[in-house]
Structure 1
Amino acid sequence: MRIRSFALTVASIVTTASAFAQSTGIPKPLRKPLDKVSAADYEAHVRYLADDKLQGRLPGTAGYQMAVEYVVEQYKKRGVLPAGENGTYLQTVRLRRAYTELGATLRLQAPQGPEQALTYGSDFTFYPNPAEASTTVAAPVVFVGFGISAPELGYDDYAGLDATGKIVVVAQERPKQFPDAVRLYNTDLLTIMQTAAKHGAVGVLLAATKATTQLVDLPKGAVSVLGPDGKVAVSRTYGGAQLRVLGSVSAATLHRLFHGSASDTARALAALRTGRPASVALQPRVLATQGSRYKDVESYNVVGKIQGGDPKLRDEYVVHTAHLDHIGVGAPIEGDSIYNGAHDNATGVASLLEIAGVYSRLKQKPRRSVLITMVTGEEMGLLGSAYFARNPTVPKSQIVANINTDMPTIIAPLLSVVALGAENSSLAAPVAEAAQAFNLTVEADPEPAQNRFIRSDQYSFVTQGIPALHIKYGNKTADGQNNLSQQVQQWRARYYHKPQDGMNGQFDFEAGRKYAQLNFLIGYQIADNVTRPTWNAGNFFGERFAK
């Protein structure tokens, strides 16, 4: 990886990675701009964004608008150029919260025998339909195992099965035969819906396989993004007009659906658990009815630009993202009802503002341009980032990489890092070099079961074929116990998505300063390297999305 030097001689225009990793670690032209990153300024950003007056920064509220205005003011102070819509810093994101109306019904119509009416809440639930206020669907049913169609991996639940015009039933279990990243992608709800729609289905029912499993209900609704045409543009719970029903059913309902078929739940689930598809046409038809109501609000992504220094490469972009939203005001816990989101994600926003400050102090900018992008609706399902990644305010083909920052959890000194997603592409190299410059070790994810790679905004860029990563804390601790993930889990139990995530919690703002410096250096290297980042040969995500 190459780093721009600011010496006047032609021979010193570019330094090599070996020079970059000398004892001083950081190239001389970057040292003073990086040194001026301030833990006090970092804390001040967090304090403002996590103040009660912002009421938890829920999109569509006055508190979120205050956060937007604060970010715009900070961009202007740092000389960050507007890169939103119509010469502004803003990209409008129209959010629709959809609710399922009372009175939804699901009936099983067997070839013989009486119709069975199921009970909402215990036998089934429906997710609201953000595009159709009143829905009635009568259709045959097929069981499609995990709902995975990946012939290139030697596995296809849809092989030999006609799902056209039918409702598919998907077992809510995790396949064990795939690597983590492949499993996460294929069992993500959006992928399940897209796969069902590709095979002609008109609905999806997610089936519990254990009697103790609670059905997923959405009393607070499901949120989608509307495009300028008023149609659903982005959603985590809507697979398009073809898929008219999305819901969940209990294990008992799954047994009912299998009655009279060529298999039964015991045999089908046993086959799935050994890695063999167990798809089968089921005997009952189902009649589903549902009503949905809507509440629409406008929110904003906030997009600023640092203009690159190379006449040719300045039209390519490295995108830093952090989500600006949190979850607003909710149920009181210990007498507090404002979910301030200090760690989640005021610290991420503070990191990007300090990164912007470093760029403002550079005498010469990197070759490529850099977008500093605060996105909305992350807590609603990565909605703001998904909308931006699909509809960026710069040409999508010119975005070369995304570096996301979400809840770094700065509760201890930063001694090691996990680079979620970097292993998929050439982005692993700038991560390693930047980490070495700050005497940090790079570790494997200590919590793979948390599915963190697909749970934050970097995944929105991955699904658009753009290499992306997200820097999290590693496990290393100053006392040598190297058990930070255990401390983070304890912190999470106490603070995560609770009103307690405010300024009275645990912080290490010097670690926040270092975290911002590290993310700057990673992004700077990518922006200044003449070679565009690439997916690793044969990488699952590169093969799936970049082509």
Structure 2
Amino acid sequence: MTFSFFSVAPRWVLLLIAGSLAARQPVRAQRPAPLTRPLTKALSRVSAADFKAHVAYLADDKLQGRQPGTPGYQLAVDYVTRQLQKRGVQPAGENGTFVQKVRLRRAFAEPAGAVLSSPGHSYQYGPDFTLYPNPQQPAATVTAPVVFAGFGISAPELGYDDYAGLDARGKIVVVTRREPRQLAGNEKLYATDLLTILQAAAQHGAVGVLLAAPKPKASLPNPAKGLVSVLDSAGRVVVSRSYASAQLQVVGSVSAEVLQRLFVGAAQDTTRTFAALRAGQAASQPLPGTLTATTRSRYKDVDSYNVVGKIPGSDARLRDEHVVHSAHLDHLGFGAAVQGDSLYNGAHDNATGVASVLEIARAYASLRQKPKRSVLLVLVTGEELGLLGSAYFAKFPTVPKASIVADINTDMPTIIAPLLSVVPLGAENSSLETEVATAAARLGLTVEADPEPAQNRFIRSDQYSFVVQGIPAVHVKYGNRTADGRNNLSEQVQKWRAATYHKPQDDIHGTFDFEAGRTYAQLNFLLGYQVAQNPQRPTWKPGNFFGRRFGGGQ
């Protein structure tokens, strides 16, 4: 579970979304109908022992951390394909297979070729600036005037636009990564996403973007590990978290001290400018002089794969619509040694999520009468690289995009204690909230608000890739209830995360509660089944931001 720059940059470089979502009262199901005998039987087929066996295989050392493009990842692809076939799942990938090819390009910046200068002054790579690799142009040089565009937000429909009255055409745009107070909730999550910032600059004609550190002496990102994008068959970038347009030839970061220098001679100094921004007022302006930026990039391309299976629906009218159960199959491979171990097995993240989908497939397979809609089981690549496999599938699905009615994503359910309550991330945006409440009530689980809103988990996993394609989505996480009544599971998870998350210690020998995994898979199966049975496809709630932005809502 991650987002694109998390492994190479400070958190503020990718997102500045520390504002939390407002707490809300959970939706409670009204006396859900009792489970039918076929559903009860299907739920009983979900096996804690088999769940554990899936995790043990996928997190075994021989899979070498399931890094995309490696033999270990291919072993994982082969394993889940065999498991789906055993359950009678039909292939729904490309050309009658279970796979969809995803061409990944890792682009590396060449620091020796990086230049940032203004007339009479050159800046030092590292302490003063860094430049990100350009996945489409191996070499790029831009000399252009400079403008300051506040937070880089262009959202006039929300009453705020840093580009209002600012001519950014042919210019290098500098934006601050300080926290904006003008927006909150979903609006803030979207507007401060790095890709949104880059897209806004490109739409206003900019040729480069420089992200200014929010504090003096803050370290700048070092993209030495490379940034990854997805290419189409013609070699063009079609999915990326760090590339918006060929027009934006240079993207990078500058220190707060460089920002001060760029403001010398400007109509408004930084003190007045940031005072205005804190007051909720746009404070964009041209900056004196020009900048020259040069970046050099090199590439490593590999083929990876999404795995896609299908359980055809039983209703003549609805079988052409699809409910997606997704989970990411990849992890980090080898990395920095921790306590003498450099193999990142990814048992919790996300072998448990994949195991959930495989057990969900087992539950569907046991049904003589399949649900009305068809069900897609999608195991994606490149989540740890920036949600790339899911973004590619959601943008270029192997079924008609309009036929996908919902995504139910499974990413690191963190099964370290009995599952007594759940947090349905993103459900509040759509009618899926009611479906979650009903499914949870049927299993005796309670539904809670997010205990860790500052983690911004909803936009950090694969369900978000479906949301930006206009498809309602949900990602069910653990709740806070504990069997001893202390209701502090969130605290336990935070301690576990500090010791285990994205470390070699996340292996099969760690802490697990596989009965909790069984319950989790049952819940997600029941949720997907309800959506597949409901004659009405899920809808965005009236006025919901994501629905308006991506779903064509009002």
TM-score, normalization by structure 2: 0.93
Write the deviation string for residues 393-423 of structure 1: whole angstroms up to 9, x where unpaired.
0000111000110000001111111111100
User: Hey, what does 2:279 align to over in structure 1?
Assistant: 274
Counterpart-to-counterpart distance in 2, 1:27 and 1:213: 58
What does residue 487 of structure 1 align with?
492
Q: Does 2:112 match 1:103?
A: yes
Shift of 1:54: 0.3
Counterpart for residue 103 of structure 2: 94
Question: Is 1:253–2:240 an aligned residue pair?
Answer: no
Residue 307 of structure 2 corresponds to: 302
Partner of 2:149: 144
Q: What is aligned with 1:318? A: 323
**Structure 1 position 193 matched with structure 2 position 198:** yes
**Equivalents in 1 of 2:214, 2:538: separation in Å?**
42
Q: Tell me how far apart the structure 1 counterparts of residues 75 and 82 of structure 2 sit (CA, whole Å).
A: 11
- Matched with 2:124 is 119
Is the Cα contact below 8 Å between 1:416 and 1:473 reproduced in 2?
A: yes
Matched, 1:363 2:368: yes
CA contact (8 A) 2:420 2:482 kept: yes
Task: State the TM-score, normalized to the length of structure 1.
Answer: 0.94
Is residue 2:518 matched to residue 1:509?
no
2:52 paired residue number? 43
Identity of aligned residues (%): 68
- Partner residue in 2 for 1:159: 164
Moved more, 379-388 or 468-477: 468-477
Q: CA deviation at 1:182?
A: 1.2
Q: Tell whether 2:397 aligns with 1:392.
A: yes
Equivalent in the alignment of 1:14:
none
Counterpart amino acid of 1:124?
A: F
Counterpart contact for 1:90–1:300, Cα < 8 Å: yes
Aligned to 1:76: 85
**Corresponding residue of 1:3:** none
Residue identity in the other structure for 2:412 = M
Give the deviation of 1:177 after TM superposition.
3.1
The residue number in structure 1 matching 2:71 is 62
Q: Which moved more, 1:281-290 or 1:389-398?
A: 281-290
2:25 corresponds to 1:20? no
Instruction: Identify the residue that residue 140 of structure 2 maps to in structure 1.
Output: 135
Aligned twin of 2:245: 240
| Aligned residue among 267, 285, 292 for 1:287 | 292
The separation in 2 between residues aligned to 1:207 and 1:522, in whole angstroms, is 43
Deviations 1:142-183 (A, max 9, x none): 111111111111111100001111111111122123222211
Shift in Å, 1:28? 2.4
CA distance in 1, matches of 2:158, 2:36: 44
Instruction: Provide the C-alpha distance between the structure 2 equivalents of 1:19 and 1:121, rounded to a whole number of angstroms.
Output: 60
1:452 partner letter: R
CA distance in 2, matches of 1:203, 1:482: 49
Q: Which residue of 1 aligns with 2:26?
A: none
Q: Which amino acid aligns with 1:461?
A: F
Provide the C-alpha distance between the structure 2 equivalents of 1:494 and 1:180, rounded to a whole number of angstroms. 30
| Alignment correspondent of 2:530 | 525
Cα–Cα, structure 1 residues 264 and 255, in superposed 2: closer, same or farther, change >3 Å?
A: same
Report the Cα offset of residue 296 of structure 1: 0.3
User: SS of 2:182's equivalent?
Assistant: coil
Local SS of the residue matching 2:408: strand
Aligned length, in residue pairs: 524
**1: distance between equivalents of 2:297 and 2:30?**
60
**Matched residue, 2:9:** none
SS in 2 for 1:428: helix
Counterparts of 2:139 and 2:75, CA distance in 1: 36
The residue identity in structure 2 corresponding to 1:392 is: P
Of 171, 175, 187, 2:176 maps to 171
Give, as a single letter, the amino acid of the residue that structure 1 aligns with 2:32.
Answer: F
For 2:217 and 2:230, the matched residues in 1 are separated by 34
Q: CA deviation at 1:64?
A: 0.1
Is the deviation greater in 342-351 or in 159-168?
159-168
The CA deviation string for residues 240-262 of structure 1, in whole angstroms up to 9 with x for no partner, is 10111110000001101111111
Kept in 1, the 8 Å contact 2:32–2:441? The answer is: no
2:275 paired with 1:263: no
How far 1:19 moved relative to its partner?
6.5
User: Counterpart amino acid of 1:490?
Assistant: K
Give the structure 2 partner of residue 208 of structure 1. 213
Distance in 1 (CA, whole Å) between partners of 2:383 and 2:198 is 20
Post-superposition offset of 1:104: 3.4
The Cα of 1:18 is off from its aligned counterpart by 5.8
- 2:231 is aligned, of 217, 226, 235, to 226
Is contact 1:105-1:118 (8 Å) kept?
no
Matches of 1:428 and 1:73, distance apart in 2: 33
User: Are residues 1:29 and 2:38 paired?
Assistant: yes
In structure 2, C-alpha distance between the alignment counterparts of 1:322 and 1:164, rounded to whole Å: 41
Q: Which runs of 5+ in 2 are unaligned?
A: 1-28
* RMSD of aligned Cα (Å): 1.1
The one-character-per-residue Cα deviations of 1:283-327 (angstroms, maximum 9, x if unpaired) are 121101111000000000000000000011100000111000000
Query: In 1, are the aligned partners of 2:313 and 2:372 still within 8 Å (CA)?
Result: yes
Q: Secondary structure at the match of 1:20?
A: coil
Q: Where does the alignment leave 5 or more consecutive residues of structure 1 unmatched?
A: 1-16
The DSSP-based 3-state class of the residue aligned with 1:349 is helix
